[in-house]
Structures are given as C-alpha cells and as structure tokens.
Amino acid sequence: MMPDSFELGPIRPPSEAYSLLIRATKNCSWNRCKFCHIYKGQRFELRPVEEVKKDILAAKAIQDGLKALAWKSGYGGSLEAVAAAVLSNPPSQAYFNVALWLYHGGSSAFLQDANTLIMPTPDLVEVIKFLKETLPSITQITSYARSKTAAKKKPEELKALHEAGLSRLHIGLESGYDPLLKYMDKGVTAADHIKGGRNVVASGISLCEYVVLGLGGKKMWREHAVETAKVLNQIDPAFIRIRTLTVKEGMPLYDEVQKGNFVRASDEEIVEEEKLLIENLDCHSYFVSDHITNLLQEIEGRLPDDKEKMLATISRFQSLSPEERHNFQVGRRVGIYNELDDMEDEQKHRLAERAIEKLSDDGKRVSNETIYFLMERFI
C-alpha cells in the first residue's frame, strides 16, 4: 500500500512557503555556523535516491487522494476547495504541505535540507527528473546550497542540473567580510562566495543570496556592510534577500553574547548598516526584505533603478523623531506594524504606545534586550 506520509525537514525560505517540500538530504553538511541553531545536534545524511523517490510517490498519492475527494465529496471537482478543507484539519504535516501546495497552484517544489547541492550530481539530476515526471504541474524546483559546494561543482554539472529542471538555488551568503565569516565559523571565504555564486549564475540557475543584517554586531558592522556589497556586486545574483540577526539558545553565538564577546547592534544601528550596504551595491539584483525579523520590511526593489527609492525609505525612518522611531520599532516588533505607513493609522499608533508603556520600566523606552526577546519569538 502507498504510504500517505513523507519526510519533511525543519525549514524552507519564506519565498517557498507554498512549495511542495521534498527532503533530498537530511540536516546540514557543515553545521558549524555560530548564528544558526536549526540542525545543531543532528547528523548530516545523504538520503538514498530510492527513498527520496518513495517520498515523491507518497506526495503524489496524497495529491491523487485529494483530487479523488474533490470529485466524490460534493466539492464539484474543485481541488482548491478540498485543499482548503484539509488545511483546517490535516491528518499529518505531509498532508498539510501537499494541500497548501495544491491550494496555491501546485507549481513549485523545494528540495530540503541545508545543502542539497552536495548530493552527487547524477543522483540530484535523477531526483529532479523523477519529481517533474511524477508531478508534471511542477514548473519550478528550488533548493538551498552552500557557496563552498557551488564553488566545487564543475560548470557542466550545474548546467546539467539546470537542464534537468533546477530553477533556483538559495545560498546563505550572510556576509562578504572574511574576518566576520571566520568568527562566525561559516566555513567559506568571500572568494568562495564569489566563485560559488558566479558558477551558479553562469549555469543559468537563478540565484538568491541571503544577507544577515546585524551579523557584524557593534564591532564589524561597517566592514560587514561594505565588503558584503563588494561580494554581491561581483556575483550579481538575481535576488538579494535580507534577514536580521536573531540570537537564540542553542546557537553558539548565544554563549558569545552571554560572555560579552559579541555585542549586538541595535535596530537603529542596523538601519544605518543597511543604508551603507545599499549605498555600496552596484549590481542588477532584485533586493527583497521579506522576513519577519527585518525592521523595514518594505525595502524592496530592482537595483540599480530603485536604489534611491530604497534609501528614501531609510531616510524616512531616520528623520522621524526619536519617540516616533521608537514607536515604530516597538510596534513592528510586537506585530502591530508591517510598514512605516501603518503609523498613520491612529489605532495602531495608540496600540504601539500602549505596548511601550507595558514593556518598558519607565513607560517611555523599551530596552534592547526586550526588543531582542520579541524578535526571537518569530523564529
């Protein structure tokens, strides 16, 4: 009998929220980055191709079951309606994932976990081809990769992956500043980032590079911003995606913060860092801030044309009075505001004022520690 469940890894990029998740490898092949807790304590495993294929068949079985249900149970054949019904009470996480994927059109898949590219290329090609043959509605297949692995792959291997159907790779660049990469034990250098990123771009696979704002802390923020921009300029990825540092128990960086070896930057300092990063970018990437940890999530646009527009958003925030900046910061961190315009909503503004009163000792200013605590609830 066909199993009605399959393996799922812990994470996917925010932009892959509606993708079918197929776990091609387990955990992280590096697993040492100080700022990351996701796979700590878990051993990396290459999954046998046959096992991954079984999971793809299980996803298809769930899909077919939902299609059959759409005809049988009075939904008039509407897959969206039946998927919506399953989403409210899914029998398993795998069902939930398939229903969500179908509800949103069933066109994209994301291969988990942290560095799928490390699979032997023929195996990865086989998985991608099987996925497309088994679920032909999928037109976009994406995955995470490490720069180091992308730098080691031969150009013809990356081309073969692209031809098989690999549309996009998401790489955690984090920073382009070597001393910071070393301190964070990222296991790559700026040169690796450039080589790996360029290899991917040259193969035709779309590339999304992730940058972590605040990663340099109070000490290295300038170099982090400037050197990261230099590396990105040399790669010229299709997308640059921004996240902001959060520090949780379980991350080696958490202990560094406790010992006082790493001093975190404040939200306002991070905005200054982002300004420096954007000012130094000279590439054609689409810049996106679609992560809940980012203070100014609305900073988005095509470089270089939208650079001034993005910098204007930063100026708009920086030119607010200190009280209004703090109102926005707290409102954003407690989930009242999504963007600066939301401050014009009187009710939301009042709610943010109340949040400040409640969360601060003096009724006026919420400490950075409390702000960090609020941010860490999101991840």
The contact set with ligand SF4 (CB under 6 A) reads 28, 30-33, 36, 38-39, 114, 146, 172
Helices 155-164 + 190-203 axis angle, to 10? 50
Q: Do 119 and 24 form a contact (C-beta atoms < 8 A)?
A: yes
245, exposed or middle or buried, with CB in 10 Å at 0-12, 13-18, 19+? buried
β 166-174/20-23 pair status: unpaired
CB-wise, 131 or 245, nearer to ligand SF4?
A: 245
Helix (H) or strand (E) holding 216: none
CB-wise, 34 or 349, nearer to ligand SF4?
A: 34
CB-wise, 19 or 329, nearer to ligand SF4?
A: 19
CB-wise, 311 or 379, nearer to ligand SF4?
A: 379
Cα separation values, 129 from 2, 179, 264, Å: 21, 40, 45
Instruction: Provide, rounded to whole angstroms, the least separation between the CB of residue 53 and ligand SF4.
Output: 25
Instruction: Provide, rounded to whole angstroms, the least separation between the CB of residue 187 and ligand SF4.
Output: 7
Report how far residue 358's alpha carbon sits from residue 333's, in angstroms, rounded to the nearest whole number: 14
Report how far residue 214's alpha carbon sits from residue 199's, in angstroms, rounded to the nearest whole number: 28
Nearest CA-CA partner of 131 in 150, 111, 117: 111
CB-wise, 102 or 211, nearer to ligand SF4?
A: 211
Instruction: Provide, rounded to whole angstroms, the least separation between the CB of residue 184 and ligand SF4.
Output: 9
Long-range pairs of 199-202 with CB within 8 A, sequence gap ≥ 24: 199/150, 199/151, 199/153, 199/155, 199/158, 200/145, 200/150, 200/158, 200/169, 200/171, 200/237, 201/235, 201/236, 201/237, 201/238, 202/155, 202/158
Q: Do 238 and 231 form a contact (C-beta atoms < 8 A)?
A: no
CB-wise, 200 or 352, nearer to ligand SF4?
A: 200
Instruction: Provide, rounded to whole angstroms, the least separation between the CB of residue 113 and ligand SF4.
Output: 8
Instruction: Provide, rounded to whole angstroms, the least separation between the CB of residue 356 and ligand SF4.
Output: 33
β 108-112/25-26 pair status: unpaired
Instruction: Provide, rounded to whole angstroms, the least separation between the CB of residue 256 and ligand SF4.
Output: 15
Q: Tokens in use for 254? A: 């958490």
CB-wise, 12 or 146, nearer to ligand SF4?
A: 146
Give the CA radius of gyration of the chain: 22
CB-wise, 42 or 368, nearer to ligand SF4?
A: 42
